[in-house]
Amino acid sequence: MSTQTLGDRAAEAFRGYLDGDRSRLGDLVEILTPLLWHTARSQHAPTPLAEEAIQTAWLRLVEGGDRIHEPRAVVSWLVVTVKRETWRLLRQSGRFTDSDAMDVRPAVDDPEAEAILSDRQRRLWRHIRALPERCQALLRVIAFASQPDYAAIATALGMPIGSIGPTRGRCLTKLRTALAGDPGWET
């Protein structure tokens, strides 16, 4: 397969950066912004807090990125850092107002958010919402990553897939089973 995964592209950009081409960090930002956004938001970060957590992770990378010797590790390193930073900010979130707290999307029963979904997406969303919350968070994040990074990301989010068993893990298996039992899916 010659198609580059997101992990490949991220590793390549980060290697270029470590080799001294500072502009490659911009490519890394472009490649990983959706993944990091959904990482922070999967932990219920309000928008400003999510942005702050992601920014802190990037600044940590600028300070100490040369300590990451395996370029492939940069993806899970950033996911872990964003998640930890989100939790740290949430713990001291006294400085966030109620209106910030209201901004936690996706609001599960927000009719406006659902109105823009296709029928198929609405069906999928119903099955995802029926999963344990940690599964919802994990699936949301790995959907924006690539396969070689799933195990590291699952561990980072506190849902280790384990050394035994298929890579897809428990959460994806549950979702597949639910979809397989839904006659309206795949039609």
Partner 1 sequence: MHDDDLLDDTDVRVLAATAGLFGRLDPVPAGLADRMQFAINVAQLEAEVAEITREAMVGVRGDTEAADTITFTSPSISLMVSTAPHGRTARVDGWVTYGGAQIEVVCRTWSTTVTADASGRFSVEDVPRGPVHFVVRGGPGNRPVVTPTVDL
Q: Which residues bind partner 1 (CB under 8 A)?
A: 22-23, 25-26, 29-30, 33-34, 37-38, 41, 47, 51, 54-55, 58-59, 62-63, 105-106, 113, 116-117, 120-121, 124-125, 128, 139-140, 142-144, 147, 166-168, 172, 175-176, 179
The distance of closest approach from Cβ of residue 169 to partner 1 in the complex, given in angstroms and rounded to an integer, is 10
Q: Are 167 and 147 in contact (CB under 8 A)?
A: yes
Instruction: Select 55 or 97, whichever has its Cβ closest to partner 1.
Output: 55
- Burial class of residue 76 (count of CB atoms within 10 Å of its CB; 0-12, 13-18, 19+): buried
The distance of closest approach from Cβ of residue 98 to partner 1 in the complex, given in angstroms and rounded to an integer, is 20
The distance of closest approach from Cβ of residue 92 to partner 1 in the complex, given in angstroms and rounded to an integer, is 20
What are the φ and ψ backbone dihedral angles of 154, each rounded to 5 degrees? -60, -45
First CA to last CA across the chain, in angstroms? 29
The distance of closest approach from Cβ of residue 177 to partner 1 in the complex, given in angstroms and rounded to an integer, is 11
Q: Tokens 């107002």 label which residue?
A: 97
H/E stretch holding 35: helix 24-42
Q: Are 64 and 51 in contact (CB under 8 A)?
A: no
Instruction: Select 94 or 173, whichever has its Cβ closest to partner 1.
Output: 173
Instruction: Select 3 or 92, whichever has its Cβ closest to partner 1.
Output: 3
Instruction: Select 97 or 147, whichever has its Cβ closest to partner 1.
Output: 147
Instruction: Select 4 or 33, whichever has its Cβ closest to partner 1.
Output: 33
CA–CA dist 55, 26 (Å, integer): 13
